[in-house]
Amino acid sequence: MSNKRERNSCRDEDPELADNGNVKGDAEDAKVITSGDAKLIISGADKIKDDTAQAREIAVQPRAIKSLDSDKSEGDNEEHEVPSVVRLEKRLEPGHERIKINQAKFEKLESKPDRAEQSEENWSSAKMTSSWWIAIVGMGVAVILIAGLILKYAFDDDLVMDEVAGAAPIEKTGDAYAASPQKWFHDNDIMVKEQAIDLLEKYVIAKNNKERSAVVRDPKKFLDSVEAWGGMFKPRAVDDDHCNWSVSHTRECGFLVLTCKDADFMPLQIYFTRGDDDQIQLDWHATVGWSTHPMRVIKENLKKRHEASYRGKQAHHLVEDKMGQDRSIGEGSAVSRELTLPNGLYSEPVTLRCLLTRRNEFYAGPYNAEAHSAFMLRSADRLTHLWGYVERDSKLDHDLRRLLDHGRFVMELKKNLPVTVKVKRAKKDALPSQLELMELVHPNWVSP
């Protein structure tokens, strides 16, 4: 209400203000402050001094932006003017109609560069460090090496082409197995496969070993060995979806191999050879991995000998302690001779069919990694194993490694490879599971 009455009184006192909204009063009665399109009219300055304590309504005025140029003093000699962002802050308090502003407050807002601008600035000002120089030198060396290898291989290819051009032409033949023992099997593949399946069926349905000997290679040797073997050969019916046929040879003897599963679903390889009448025969000895001295028996005898030797030494020392130094020598030696197996046990080489694998895990007693190469020997049923040692870098060592693809760039080395070897016990202080490899009789288990 007070604001309304005051506005009416101002219109009565100043007709021009009431009609046109402009102020044309005397400078002593009114004061006009102009900023842009806004005007601040202060009238009755003397009266304001008396009415400052009265509560008045505040008329909101627009903010004004003012440059610092108007506030510079005449004696300011700055050569460069810095543009500034000026903000007029006005605090409004309820109860006051007008506020006299004596001095405006200004702030200078400085913008900071963002991360991308800062990275670009750092990159432009960065210096070459030692790591950069090392990287550049390394790249240069790599380029030189690659260029040298390209030139080398190009030169070698030229030499190879020259040698090939100067070599005698190779006579091409239409048969890849013309001079191989495998030729007969490949020429009669259908007949050979049918005969092999028929032989397996006859062997399975046979009632005794006499009937089985009619379909095997070397029947007399089969009858002498099958009783001592004590095992059982149990093939399953041939299933082409789960069986694999292949042909190989040992020296001049070719043979057919059927890889399948036995009745217990264990891996099994069945060997067939060619008879004198061009009929297929079952090679029983190669199929069961027969050896005159089975690996299981060899290991048991070596273990018994080792234990007997140990007990003999203990008995010898016991007799010496009880009977005295003079009388105990002869008696202790007699006890030792009674408990120890013959020293000649496996001192001569014996033939052994086994599965060969190159290993570097077991070196003990007289056999060390510097002077010997170690091989694991497994029985055909994979239930018994022995360790075989050979002089490192000897001919036999290279032959065995070549069979297993050791020393070649291959994806996977061979293991559990069927071989026929000769072994013997050579050193008295060796462990019961240690033998020496003396000879590679032939690869695989089929005898020539």
Q: What is the DSSP string of 113-135?
A: --HHHHHHHHHHH----HHHHHH
Q: What are phi and psi of 278, to 5 degrees?
A: 60, 35
Q: Residue 355 — pLDDT band, cuts 50, 70, 90?
A: very high
- Tell me the per-residue pLDDT of 42-68, one tens digit each, with 9 for 90 and over: 665 555 555 555 555 655 555 555 444
152 vs 13: which has the higher pLDDT:
152
Please report, as a single letter, which amino acid is at residue 167.
Answer: A
- Tell me the per-residue pLDDT of 243-286, one tens digit each, with 9 for 90 and over: 899 999 998 899 999 999 888 888 889 999 999 888 999 999 99
What separation in angstroms does the CA of 261 have from each of 216, 234, 306?
20, 9, 38
- Strands (DSSP E) found in 283-384: 350-358, 372-378
Largest CA distance in the chain: 158
The three-state secondary structure class of 216 is strand
What is the percent of the chain with per-residue pLDDT over 90, rounded to a whole number?
Answer: 34
Q: Which of 157-161, 224-228, 265-269 has the lowest mean pLDDT?
A: 157-161
Q: What's the pLDDT at 7?
A: 46
Among candidates 421, 380, 428, 424, which has minimal Cα distance to 403?
A: 421
426 vs 205: which has the higher pLDDT:
205
pLDDT surpasses 60 at 342: no
The three-state secondary structure class of 257 is strand
- The predicted model gives 177-192 an average pLDDT of 90
Average pLDDT, the chain: 74
- The predicted model gives 357-374 an average pLDDT of 91
**Cα 10 to chain centroid, rounded:** 96
- Tell me the per-residue pLDDT of 400-427, one tens digit each, with 9 for 90 and over: 999 998 877 777 888 999 999 999 987 8
DSSP 8-state code for residue 7: H
Residues in the chain: 448
Q: What's the pLDDT at 430?
A: 86
- C-alpha radius of gyration, the chain, whole number: 55
448 vs 240: which has the higher pLDDT:
448
- The predicted model gives 334-347 an average pLDDT of 56
255 vs 109: which has the higher pLDDT:
255
Could you tell me the end-to-end alpha-carbon distance of the chain, in angstroms, rounded to an integer? 133
229 vs 355: which has the higher pLDDT:
355
Q: Residue 335 — pLDDT band, cuts 50, 70, 90?
A: very low
pLDDT surpasses 80 at 378: yes
Pairwise CA distance, residues 380 & 416, whole Å: 10
What is the percent of the chain with per-residue pLDDT over 70, rounded to a whole number?
Answer: 59
Q: What's the pLDDT at 198?
A: 93
H-helix or E-strand spanning residue 402? helix 395-403
CATH code of 295-443, in short, is 2.40.50.140
Among candidates 412, 407, 416, 411, which has minimal Cα distance to 444?
A: 416
On the 0-12 / 13-18 / 19+ scale of CB atoms within 10 A, 436 is buried
- The predicted model gives 284-293 an average pLDDT of 93
Most confident option among 83-92, 116-125, 165-174, 190-199 = 190-199
Q: Which residues pair with 351 in a beta bridge?
A: 422
Q: What is the four-CA torsion angle of 372, 405, 382, 386, rounded to 10 degrees?
A: -10
Pairwise CA distance, residues 269 & 267, whole Å: 7
Tokens at residue 253, please? Answer: 């003897």
Q: Are 17 and 10 in contact (CB under 8 A)?
A: yes
